[in-house]
Amino acid sequence: MKLLVTFSKKGGKQPLIAQTVKDTGVLINVERAFIDSNEGEVLIDIPDKDTKVICDAMEKAGARVKQMEDSVIRDESECVNCGACISVCPQDVLSFDETWTLCVDGSKCVLCGKCVDACPHQALSLLP
């Protein structure tokens, strides 16, 4: 399960991730981190079974947590199933099924946005 963890400036000074790992014993994989003067945003990956434990721990520490399940939004009226997005994705989020229809596995997405840029039909967007 991927979680998007957002925290305020104050939260950025706390060792949020390290503390959560220490308290819960769950191994957290940080996939992306973005921290500026007002806010921080970290995308983490954890085992599905630990989702609740981690969400609770993070929220208790003052962070907001969003479960990322359908991160990539595909506009079916625009998509022509060309597959231009498939090879630019570093996480194998996009693939063809046996009928050459594009399949999106948003649970693997790290929100890099490469597919959004690569789509010739502007059919892909990321979860706002």
Partner 1 sequence: MEKTIELINTRIRDGNARAVRADQMPDIVDELGVAGALREVDVVTTGTFGAMCSSGAFFNFGHSDPPIRMEKVWMNDVEAYAGIAAVDAYLGATQKSETQGISYGGAHVLEDLVAGNSVRLRAQSKGTDCYPRKTLEIDLTLEDMNQATMVNPRNSYQSYVAAANTTDRTLYTYMGTLLPNAGNVSYSGAGCLSPIPNDPGLRIIGSGVPIFLCGAEGMIIGEGTQASPGNGFATLMTTGNMNDMSTDFLRAATFKGYNSTLYVGLGVPIPVLDEDVVRRTAVRDEDLKTTIADYGVPSRDRPTLREVTYAELKCGHVEMDGEEVKTSSLSSYKKALEVADELKSWVESGKMELALPTRRINTEKTSRPMRDRARAPQVRDIMNTSLVTISEDEDIRTAAKRLLRGGTNHLPVLDGANRLVGIVTTFDISKAVASNGKGETVKDIMTKRVVYTSPAEAVDVATHKLERNNISALPVVDESGKLVGILSAIDLSKLFERGWKQ
Enumerate the β-bridge partners of residue 84: none
Interatomic CA distance for residues 44 and 86, integer angstroms: 23
Q: Does 108 bind partner 1 (CB under 8 A)?
A: no
What the block records as the tokens of 102 is 């594009």
Q: Does 81 bind partner 1 (CB under 8 A)?
A: yes
Q: Which of 21, 26, 88, 127 binds partner 1 (CB under 8 A)?
A: 88
Q: Does 114 bind partner 1 (CB under 8 A)?
A: yes
Q: Which of 26, 53, 86, 110 binds partner 1 (CB under 8 A)?
A: 86
Closest separation between CB of residue 116 and partner 1, Å?
9
How far, in Å, are 65, 77, 84, 123, 127 from residue 120 at the CA level?
Answer: 32, 14, 8, 8, 19
Q: Which of 64, 96, 103, 113 binds partner 1 (CB under 8 A)?
A: 96
Q: Does 103 bind partner 1 (CB under 8 A)?
A: no
Judged by DSSP in three states, 1 sits in: coil
Site for partner 1 (CB under 8 A): how many residues? 20
Q: Other C-beta atoms within 10 Å of 58: how many? A: 25
Enumerate the β-bridge partners of residue 64: 6
Interacting residue ranges for partner 1, rule: CB under 8 A = 80-88, 95-96, 99-101, 114, 117-118, 120-122
